[in-house]
């Protein structure tokens, strides 16, 4: 059985990946429209407040989902959902730096057994190191029963 508290003490709040993104206006519009967004500040590059919508920020991915030395928890990982918090608008053409760390690790009991949830948070910063947004990705792993 995985010791959640031990994992937390070893891995929480330590950056394990960093990536620079240059925001392309066409890609912002494509993701906005694909996610059902209709507001012009997200779909019209000519709008004076044109910016990346939350769905676009969820689409940004760094190279790693977990720290390189994170142990295998067994079971098959599944996407447990995304959440975005925007602190300042992120504009097309802007360069942003995403730094990823594990924000939380916890478990839940379900009908099929124990599920371990791992929350990876990518914090987005501009080139002046201003915090622009945070994007959380949850991974759900159903723990295998001991054999």
Chain segment 6-38, per-residue pLDDT in tens: 999 999 999 999 999 999 999 999 999 999 999
Q: Could you give the CA distance from residue 64 to residue 66 in angstroms, rounded to a whole number?
A: 6
Does residue 110 carry a pLDDT above 90? no
Does residue 62 carry a pLDDT above 80? no
- Model confidence at 51, pLDDT cuts 50, 70, 90, reads very high
The encoded tokens of residue 122 equal 């990518």
Residue 28 lies in a domain: yes
User: How far is C-alpha 33 from the chain's CA centre?
Assistant: 20
Residue 20 lies in a domain: yes
The encoded tokens of residue 138 equal 């949850």
DSSP-assigned letters across all residues of 88-131 = S---TT-EEEEEEEEEEEEEEEETTEEEEEEEEEEEEE-TT--E
Rounded to two decimals, the pTM is 0.89
Average pLDDT (56-77) is 87
Residue 147 lies in a domain: no
Instruction: Please count the structural domains in the chain.
Output: 1
Q: What are the residue ranges of helices labelled H in the chain? A: 4-11, 25-34, 40-43, 54-59
Q: Could you give the CA distance from residue 61 to residue 105 in angstroms, rounded to a whole number?
A: 20
Residue 50 lies in a domain: yes
Q: What's the CATH number where 18 sits?
A: 3.10.129.10
Mean pLDDT computed over every residue of the chain: 92
Indicate the helix (H) or strand (E) that contains 86: strand 77-86
Does residue 147 carry a pLDDT above 60? no
Q: Are 40 and 33 in contact (CB under 8 A)?
A: no
Average pLDDT (47-51) is 96
Domain hosting residue 14, numbered range: 4-142
Indicate the helix (H) or strand (E) that contains 138: strand 131-142
């Amino acid at each position: 059985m995985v010791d959640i508290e031990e994992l937390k003490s070893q891995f929480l709040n330590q950056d394990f990946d960093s990536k620079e993104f240059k925001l392309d206006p066409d890609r912002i519009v494509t993701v906005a429209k694909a996610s059902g967004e209709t507001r012009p500040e997200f779909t019209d590059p000519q709008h004076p407040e044109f910016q990346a919508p939350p769905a676009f920020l969820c689409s940004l991915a760094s190279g790693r989902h977990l720290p390189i030395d994170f142990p295998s928890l067994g079971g098959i990982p599944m996407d447990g959902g995304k959440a975005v918090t925007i602190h300042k608008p992120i504009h097309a053409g802007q360069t942003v730096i995403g730094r990823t760390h594990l924000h939380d690790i916890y478990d839940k009991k379900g009908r099929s057994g124990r599920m371990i949830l791992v929350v990876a948070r990518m914090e987005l910063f501009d080139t002046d190191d201003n915090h622009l947004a945070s994007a959380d990705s949850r991974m759900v792993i159903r723990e295998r029963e001991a054999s």
